[in-house]
């Protein structure tokens, strides 16, 4: 009898906690995974089709689309501002130092926007939401986890190259700088490590890791020599590409963390995550635990996607992602 009472109390507590969590999410989150369920039920399928085709055509595009979402959210929130071209009234974030001649995938976003607007019959889906969904679909296409993307963001009518220069973490950052940068975006140390795991796909220009391969001491010497071969110190190869993940840069897996464990992080900021600091244990775990990394990555992507979204009557739904209406 006592055990029945205990189980009843435990069940009631669990149901109450779940209900409270649901109510809190419903009331306090302006975004919802079902935002387009009635206004455009085919929106997500339209995005998925274009993303899968683009990534299958050029697998590197998956990392590029994921990076667009990250670089969007870290500059005044997830508002599609990174997509705006320069104009007399727009100081484009595309021209910021971390982005210029580096961020890419804008033509794919154009294709997605066209397909989604055709599926919806009018511009209903924001460019900011397109970036969030395209990031998820890119990860899935390359073998990574899936998650429910929160939707309902609206698009900014402004951009800020200055804010992009100030807010995007630099490849030269040390661990404390990385932690502070992520904290400034309401992301914690776990989010830092998990989201850095996105570097399991993609490439980086030599100019972003040249200083590391010639000056850092916490780098595998054989690996450093390999990188020097594609990254001359005289700057002649500054736009040569090096893989962020040394063995499988086109597959979303655990290799990035295994590389750090062997002191083969491409960027200085990558290796800072495994360099005798507070994040070493997380890197070690994610180097072998697929379930933990995939679950945590999905959760942190949802969390990042919630950074300062424009909702309700804020901003607009752009007709063309590159220009303000």
DSSP for residue 290? H
| Catalytic-role residue among 12, 24, 69, 71 | 71
Confirm or deny that 93 is annotated as ligand binding: yes
Confirm or deny that 75 is annotated as ligand binding: yes
Q: Are 158 and 81 in contact (CB under 8 A)?
A: yes
Q: Which two tokens stand for residue 45?
A: 């399928």
The helix (H) or strand (E) run that includes residue 243 is strand 241-243
Give the integer Cα–Cα distance in Å for 293 and 285: 8
Confirm or deny that 41 is annotated as ligand binding: no
Confirm or deny that 33 is annotated as ligand binding: no
- Angle at which helix 106-120 crosses helix 127-141, to 10 degrees, equals 110
Q: How many other C-beta atoms lie within 10 A of the C-beta of residue 210? A: 20
Confirm or deny that 202 is annotated as ligand binding: no
Confirm or deny that 309 is annotated as ligand binding: no
Confirm or deny that 26 is annotated as ligand binding: no
Q: Which two tokens stand for residue 217?
A: 């001491």
Confirm or deny that 296 is annotated as ligand binding: no
Q: Which residue has the tokens 């986890």?
A: 145
Give strand pairing partners of 155: 316
Provide CB contacts within 8 A for 117, sequence distance 6+: 123, 124, 125, 319
Q: Assess whether 71 carries a catalytic annotation.
A: yes
Q: Which residue has the tokens 């940068």?
A: 181
Q: Enumerate the active-site residues.
A: 71
Annotated binding site for Ca(2+): 72, 75, 77, 79, 81, 93, 200, 245
Annotated binding site: 72, 75, 77, 79, 81, 93, 169, 199-200, 245
Annotated binding site for heme b: 199
Annotated binding site for substrate: 169
């Amino acid at each position: 009898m006592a055990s029945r009472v205990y189980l009843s109390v435990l069940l009631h507590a669990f149901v109450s906690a779940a209900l409270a969590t649901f109510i809190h999410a419903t009331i306090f989150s302006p975004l919802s995974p079902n935002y387009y369920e009635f206004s455009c039920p085919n929106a997500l399928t339209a995005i998925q089709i274009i993303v899968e085709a683009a990534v299958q055509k050029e697998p590197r595009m998956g990392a590029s689309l994921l990076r667009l979402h990250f670089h969007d959210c870290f500059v005044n929130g997830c508002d599609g501002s990174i997509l705006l071209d320069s104009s007399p009234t727009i100081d484009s974030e595309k021209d910021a130092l971390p982005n210029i001649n580096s961020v890419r995938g804008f033509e794919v976003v154009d294709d997605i926007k066209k397909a989604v607007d055709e599926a919806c019959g009018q511009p209903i889906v924001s460019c900011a939401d397109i970036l969030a969904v395209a990031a998820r679909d890119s990860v899935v296409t390359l073998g990574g986890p899936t998650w429910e993307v929160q939707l309902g963001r609206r698009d900014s009518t402004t951009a800020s190259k200055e804010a992009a220069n100030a807010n995007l973490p630099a490849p030269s950052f040390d661990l404390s700088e990385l932690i502070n940068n992520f904290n400034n975006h309401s992301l914690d140390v776990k989010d830092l490590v998990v989201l850095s795991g996105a570097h399991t796909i993609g490439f980086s220009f030599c100019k972003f890791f040249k200083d590391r391969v010639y000056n850092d001491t916490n780098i595998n010497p054989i690996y450093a020599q390999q990188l020097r071969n594609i990254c001359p110190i005289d700057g002649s190869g500054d736009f040569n590409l090096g893989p962020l993940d040394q063995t499988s840069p086109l597959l979303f897996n655990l290799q990035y963390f295994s590389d750090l464990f062997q002191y083969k992080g491409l960027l200085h900021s990558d290796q800072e995550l495994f360099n005798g600091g507070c994040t070493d244990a997380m890197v070690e775990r994610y180097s072998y635990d697929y379930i933990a990394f995939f679950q945590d990555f999905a959760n942190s992507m949802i969390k990042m996607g919630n950074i300062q979204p424009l909702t309700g009557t804020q901003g607009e739904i752009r007709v063309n992602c590159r220009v303000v209406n």
